[in-house]
Structure 1
Amino acid sequence: MFTGIIETIGTVHSLRAEGANLHIEVASSFTQELKIDQSVAHNGVCLTVVSISDDCYTVTAIKETLDKTSLSSLQVANPVNLERGMKLSDRLDGHIVQGHVDQVAQCTNVLEENGSWKFTFKYDSSPGNITIEKGSITINGVSLTVVDSGKDIFSVAIIPYTYKHTTFNTLKEGTVVNLEFDVIGKYVARLTQLSSQ
């Protein structure tokens, strides 16, 4: 379980394919605090630490994960939003985030608005995922509030702190991102769908 409040930005140190899997080695400021089998969210994708060496640790993404997220497009030296699993005693400063990416979206516009930024994203709405204005959305692991919402498009506003301390400062038109829709909204949408059958 995560909050969507990014702890630090890591850097992809190396990538190694093995069969359909991808081993991702990441350099981070908290590597020395990690343990084998610990969960870490990488651009919103929950992955398990499988090895640790000096200031780097390795996680493995399987084919299912690579097919449904943007991790397959990672390259060496790319920045990655990182968050360790929350402690039960922590405040929930973002919203409930599972680290289970629902689908990807494409950035269609970045608008600087005199001290903040408005990012617009387009996604495939056919799986039934929705956004609502003032609702929660997780983009590349960052807990955000939707400011504009349409059938397959939505926008979020980014404050300077988030822009500086996450990978939002690297996003541009055409960038593919990971989306995790609000878990409560997903259950409500599913129950509504089942009751109408």
Structure 2
Amino acid sequence: MFTGIIEAVGNIQKINPKSGDFELVVDVNSLDMSDVKLGDSIAVNGVCLTVTQFSKTSFNADVSAETIRCTKLADLTSGSKVNLEKACRPDSRLGGHIVSGHVDAVGRVESVLANANATDYWISAPDEISHYIAEKGSITVDGISLTVNQVEQNQFRLTIIPHTTEQTNILDWVVGAKVNLEVDVIARYLERLMTAKPKSEGVTMELLAKSGFLK
């Protein structure tokens, strides 16, 4: 589990093909690796990956064919900048929102517009996830927890302050760029609860009495 607060911007050192999928070697730059162990999870541009090898300055992770299909990791090249976040601890602050690291779809940057000291980014989302995106709600874009400021059909607007730009790879978000999208997990569970066929008629007076809540 992650929070969407980026801890460092790393660089792709190598991409090693492996029979239909590939292995990433990531230079972590300023990411603290002192508490990392084999098998730990690190989000790379919002994709939860498992550490298979590591040192003080880098780690290796396998990328499956399914992950390649569902994300934009296949577009990475040697030298690409990537947002990095280690899995959160139970005692850490939830500075962003609950992020699973399971990318829902790939979006596209449609426009980049100056807005005083900030920058507005309009991003399009595929139809299958656009209904989960709500104005003033949270969304994860390339692993960054961000607030949606406006929604129009299948596009949404983000207003990015300079600090966020400086701490992430957002400068690479040019018009036409692909971005990994993960919608708010709470929206997904709410939809499931509202649309799933109930196994019973719900809470009734008879059920309450049988369960000892009524005398």
What TM-score comes out, normalization by structure 2 length? 0.87
In the TM superposition, what are the counterparts of 1:43-82 in structure 2 within 5 Å? Answer: 43-53=45-55, 55-82=57-84
Q: Is the 8 A contact 1:9 1:165 kept in 2?
A: yes
- Displaced runs of 4 or more, over 6 A: none
Partners in 1 of 2:147 and 2:130 — Cα distance?
19
Identity %: 36
Distance in 2 between residues matched to 1:188 and 1:143, nearest whole Å: 20
Kept in 2: contact 1:42–1:81 (CA 8 A)? yes
Counterpart position of 1:36? 38
Matched, 1:14 2:14: yes
Pair member with larger Rg: 2
Provide Cα deviations, 1:20-78, integer angstroms capped at 9, x if missing partner: 12100000133642221110000000000001245221011100000000000000000
Q: 1:155 to 1:128 in 2, by over 3 A?
A: closer
Contact map agreement 1:122 1:153 (CA 8 A) in 2? yes
Contiguous gaps of at least 5 residues in structure 1: none
- Asked whether 1:133 is paired with 2:159, we answer no
Contact 2:15–2:24 at 8 Å: present in 1 too? yes
SS at match of 1:144: strand
Secondary structure of 2:74's partner?
helix
More deviation in 52-61 or 167-176? 52-61
User: Which residue of structure 1 aligns with residue 211 of structure 2?
Assistant: none
The answer for the alignment partner of 1:124 in structure 2 is 126
- Cα distance between partner residues in 2 of 1:146 and 1:127: 14
Task: With the length of structure 1 as denominator, give the TM-score of the two structures.
Answer: 0.94
Give me the whole-angstrom Cα distance separating, in 2, the residues matched to 1:105 and 1:145.
16
Q: Which runs of 5+ in 2 are unaligned?
A: 198-215
In 2, Cα distance between equivalents of 1:135 and 1:127: 14
How many equivalent residue pairs?
Answer: 196
- Is 2:140–2:183's contact at 8 Å kept on the other side of the alignment? yes
- Partner residue, 2:5: 5
